[in-house]
Amino acid sequence: MTTQEATSAPIKVRRATKSSWAGLAVITPVLILLAMGPYIMGRGLQQNLVIMFSLIVLGTMWNLLAGYGGMVSIGQQAYIGIGAYGLVYIADTIGIDPFLAVPIAVVIAGALSLPISFLAFRLSGGYFAIGTWVIAEVVKLVVEQMDVLGAGSGVSFMAITDLSPGRRIAYVYWLSLIAVVVAVGVTYLVMRSRLGLGFTAIRDDAVAAGSLGVRVTRSKRIVYVIAGMGCALAGAMIAANTLRVQPESIFSVEYSAFMIFIVVIGGIGTIEGPIVGAIVFFALQQWLSDFGVWYLVILGLLAIIITLLLPRGIWGLISGNGRIRLFPVGYRLANPLERFALIKDKTAVADKGEPSA
Amino acid sequence: MEWLNAVLQGVLLGGLYALLAAGLSLMFGVMRIVNLAHGVLAVVAAYLGYFLVDKLSVPAFLCILIVIPVMAGIGYVLQLGLLNPALARGGLAPILVTFGLAVVVTNLLQQFFSADTRSIQTGAIATDSIQITGDISIGVFPLLTFVVGVAVIAGLQMYLSRSRTGRAMRAASDDKEAAQLMGIDNRRIYAIATAIALGVVGLAGVFLGMRTQFSPTYGDATLIFAFEAVIIGGLGSLWGTLIGGIVLGVAQTVGAQINPAYGILAGNLVFLAILAFRPTGLLPKAVNS
């Protein structure tokens, strides 16, 4: 780059970085490998990976809410349940193709989340958290009264059981892998957009963002609806994986606990954090499952300690507090040092010749 | 007549909810902390009462004299050790920390007391009742709970408005920095507030344990009921919390009168209706900070 060019375009903004190109070079083969899963993995492993994929989707969505929107929800299980029941009802009772039923269930969840947001947004902070929980409880109590959804005992997902088990598990696996790519991809694209810049501003200071013209409530509502749809997608994955939906388990507040642990442990407010968090959480869950309730005790303590001592989570450690970015959503100067030199040059030029008035 | 009875029982139940909610309301009022571990801490108090009465044969109502100071001590330590650092972190930290705490404590209770339901035996008073008319009678224990609930709310209100420490709490709540300049040690004031809040939670937890069967996960419902009482009544108003508790209690008993399965749902729906149509609650604080 010559000085001439630099002077004519003094500010060059770059979005991708070396680390993000390197990240792409790692992620692409991993995705290709995962896509070949059904050909190279056993059924048990595939089903376990579906659980992990659903955790990644849930964590990504909760991070969108809390990490970018500043909304701590402990009621996202409402949408998990809506997605799960929606899939079963649309595919089994109405008779629409199950793989078409998934996006329909997701859209329904989004449509429901919009009016719900008007209720939930009456509250803020910790009271917003409990308010979302109450809403999830109401959804559960209503579902438990609906005989068409199996009332208190729940429903079985029948539509895909005529497939052979191997084929069924492979389809669900691919569906879940696509769901992860869509959830992370949508988050990435949203965060790169103008909307995302607004979210980042809201995350840092909602009042200041508002005064600079970011439409705070509208942005939060968009986040809330996207998160509702994403959680419904995860709910559909869970239903397709377990073939059984019961109100007590699908509307369990434990899902919210999982989401919070995933995001806090992985690193709140980054796209990479929830992915790392979900993988770590999944590994801990497998590893600590022999310890009974102790595993939730350990996870809870871990969440408290990380919140207080390591608020950027594991990804913050790995990335050196944001120097490495696999998903470049920010804006950075192409070469801050060069720009610095440029300013010095300019002043030098001004000093030398150009007779300024 | 049975409807009138349901309303009356609901009012009395409201006394318990107000008692449960008072601590939540106080902590939010002073520190803007919403303690998501509030419900499970009430259950901890219930287990403590159960342990004292059932295992150590402490007379039922005397266990309160031990539970309250123990819970207050836990509150003081909790504030200094965990909540003050979380407040210093700011942002989402207090919510995340209290949520983590709730999960930890719930599962520790599971570990040590199993998932079986328990209750604190109170002897004859559990079934005693006062006959008012042919169809309506009031249980002595629910009445006692209600009276204690009203007394605690009145006492807290007096404490906040009259005592020196109470004034300091209100000052710290209104303007933290200004209060500090006036020589108020916020961290200590917060610790006292949480100690009082958990002392009240201790009392509420024991009454809860005497009234119903509880298990480690009972904290979830307890938190939700306390929260609904606070919001229905209006944030930042202790008398509002009492009214909120009564409204919630009546909604639940009347709902259950219609169909036993509708009790809790009716309470939730009344809460959502308040949220939709009167989001400041029934008795909002006159001046919002």
- Place A353 in a pLDDT band, splitting at 50, 70 and 90: very low
CA distance B225 to chain A (A): 9
Q: Give the mean model confidence (pLDDT) for residues A75-99.
A: 90
Let me know the angle formed at the C-alpha of A72 by A68 and A77, rounded to the nearest 5 degrees.
110
Question: What does the alpha-carbon distance between residue A192 and residue A13 come to, in Å, rounded to a whole number?
Answer: 14
Nearest chain B Cα distance for residue A345, angstroms: 42
Give the residue among A280, A292, A65, A245 at the shortest CA–CA distance from A149: A245
Joined together, the tokens standing for residue A314 give 């594991």
Q: Tens of pLDDT along B267-280?
A: 889 988 888 888 77
Residues on chain A touching B230 (C-beta within 8 angstroms)? 127
Distances (CA, A) of B269 to A142, B234, B255: 11, 16, 10
Closest to A297 (Cβ–Cβ): which among B98, B108, B271?
B108
- Chain B residues with CB inside 8 Å of A258's CB? none
Of A127, A137, A253, the CB nearest to B34: A127
Q: How far apart are CA A36 and CA A38, in angstroms?
A: 6
Average pLDDT over residues A252-258: 89
For residue B69, pLDDT over 60 is answered with: yes
Please report the residues numbered 24 through 63 in chain B whose beta carbons come closer than 8 angstroms to any beta carbon of chain A.
Answer: 28, 32-36
Q: Residue A345: is its pLDDT beyond 60? A: no
pTM greater than the 0.95 cutoff = no
Q: Mind listing the pLDDT tens digit for each residue in B11-52?
A: 999 999 999 999 998 898 888 888 999 999 999 999 999 999
Residue A152 tokens, joined: 């208190």
pLDDT for A336 equals 56
Interface of B with A in 257-276 (CB under 8 A): 261, 264-265, 268-269, 271-272, 275-276
Counting runs of H as helices and runs of E as strands, what totals does chain A give? 17, 4
For B78, the token pair is 């909790």
Q: How far is CA A30 from CA A24, A36, A174, in A?
A: 10, 10, 14
Chain A positions touching B91 (Cβ under 8 A) are 70
Q: Which residues of B touch A268 (CB under 8 A)?
A: 92
Residue A330: the pLDDT is: 65
Q: Is A2 helix (H, G, I), strand (E, B) or coil?
A: coil
- Beta-carbon contacts below 8 Å between A and B: 127
Is residue A344 scored above 60 in pLDDT?
no
Provide, as residue numbers in chain B, all residues whose Cβ is less than 8 Å from the Cβ of A253. Answer: 220
Q: Which residue of A has its CA nearest to B225?
A: A134
- Counting Cα atoms < 13 Å in the Cβ hemisphere of A145 gives 12
Q: Is A10 on the interface with B (CB under 8 A)?
A: no
The per-residue pLDDT for range A18-59, each reduced to its tens digit, is: 677 777 777 888 888 887 778 888 788 888 899 999 999 999
User: Over the stretch A231-250, which tens digit does the pLDDT of each residue have?
Assistant: 999 999 999 888 888 898 89
Smallest CA–CA distance, residue A310 to chain B, in Å, is: 11
CA distance A224 to A215: 14
Predicted confidence (pLDDT) per residue in B130-165, tens digit: 877 777 788 888 889 999 999 999 999 888 888 888
The beta-carbon contacts of B152-161 under 8 Å, at least 24 apart in sequence, are B152/B19, B152/B22, B152/B200, B152/B203, B153/B18, B153/B22, B153/B238, B153/B239, B153/B241, B153/B242, B156/B22, B156/B26, B156/B196, B156/B200, B156/B238, B157/B238, B157/B239, B159/B196, B160/B238
Q: What is the pLDDT of residue A323?
A: 66
CB A58 within 8 A of CB A231: yes
Residue B102 with chain A: CB contacts under 8 Å: 300
